[in-house]
Chains A and B, each alone.
Chain A
Amino acid sequence: DGGITQSPKYLFRKEGQNVTLSCEQNLNHDAMYWYRQDPGQGLRLIYYSQIVNDFQKGDIAEGYSVSREKKESFPLTVTSAQKNPTAFYLCASGRSSGSTDTQYFGPGTRLTVL
């Protein structure tokens, strides 16, 4: 089946630890995105990548890092510098060109800092 997978579904972290969230897609999409969702809020863009080996900061990139070594994978690292990391994290992918480009989302990872 084609789609986007995220792992783990739930993640617990102690303060001061870095954690990496996985995002994989087999839709052959060029572009991938990471969003953060807080309770009662919409999604906010953390990072995005339009092609392999290239990525740009979104609106709330501080305290996060990403890599894009393969077209299928776009892992997100939440570093200890992120002041309030507890949130729901959603990964998305889409074709990078065209005004009708739709982003398709994975099931999300819920991160809790203990």
Chain B
Amino acid sequence: AQKITQTQPGMFVQEKEAVTLDCTYDTSDPSYGLFWYKQPSSGEMIFLIYQGSYDQQNATEGRYSLNFQKARKSANLVISASQLGDSAMYFCAMRRVTGGGNKLTFGTGTQLKVEL
């Protein structure tokens, strides 16, 4: 069974600093995808970044980058130059291949607070 683990329930970072949110995963599938979503207090889930298990390079999207270490089964999200608007809940998710469909398994999330 697939599992996503986010061990940091809460993180604080100062504005303009970089922050790393941890995510480890467990799967026996040879092919999988890893996603990060942002959930502000309004509740909507906002897609941030995607990493495929066979991608040779780490994914980047603007200020977001994914530090993918396949052997360690980790997919940490790095946010550079933090902004006050980055304060939100962040979820790591993995796409499940087995059983058909495009189902996602989510971690329990990390609450990020950006301070002045």
Contacts from A to B (Cβ < 8 Å): 31, 33, 40-45, 48, 50, 56, 58, 88, 90, 92, 94, 96, 99-108, 110
Among B4, B31, B101, B109, point to the contact of A31 (Cβ < 8 A): B101
Q: Are A58 and B103 in contact (CB under 8 A)?
A: yes
Contacts from B to A (Cβ < 8 Å): 4, 31, 33, 35, 37, 42-47, 50, 52, 91, 93, 95, 97, 100-104, 106-109
Q: Are B101 and A42 in contact (CB under 8 A)?
A: no
Query: Which among B47, B50, B101 has the greatest number of chain A C-beta atoms within 10 A?
Result: B101
Among B104, B107, B108, point to the contact of A45 (Cβ < 8 A): B104
Chain A: minimal CB distance from B39 (Å): 9
The CA-CA distance from A40 to B109 in the complex, in Å, is 8
Chain B: minimal CB distance from A32 (Å): 11
Q: Are B95 and A101 in contact (CB under 8 A)?
A: yes
Chain B: minimal CB distance from A35 (Å): 8
The CA-CA distance from A44 to B4 in the complex, in Å, is 12
Residues of B within 8 A of A103 (CB): 35, 47, 102, 104
Among B50, B106, B108, point to the contact of A100 (Cβ < 8 A): B50
Q: Are B104 and A31 in contact (CB under 8 A)?
A: no
The CA-CA distance from A57 to B102 in the complex, in Å, is 13
Among B47, B95, B101, B107, point to the contact of A96 (Cβ < 8 A): B101
Residues of B within 8 A of A33 (CB): 103-104
Q: Are A42 and B31 in contact (CB under 8 A)?
A: no
The CA-CA distance from A9 to B37 in the complex, in Å, is 21
Chain A: minimal CB distance from B5 (Å): 11
Q: Are A56 and B102 in contact (CB under 8 A)?
A: no
Other 19 A-B pairs with CB < 8 A, given A43-B45, A105-B44, A107-B42: A31-B102, A42-B106, A43-B104, A48-B101, A50-B101, A50-B102, A56-B100, A58-B103, A90-B43, A92-B45, A94-B102, A99-B52, A99-B95, A100-B52, A101-B102, A102-B47, A102-B50, A103-B47, A103-B102
The CA-CA distance from A107 to B44 in the complex, in Å, is 4
Chain B residue nearest to A109 in the complex (CB): B43
Residues of B within 8 A of A105 (CB): 37, 44-47
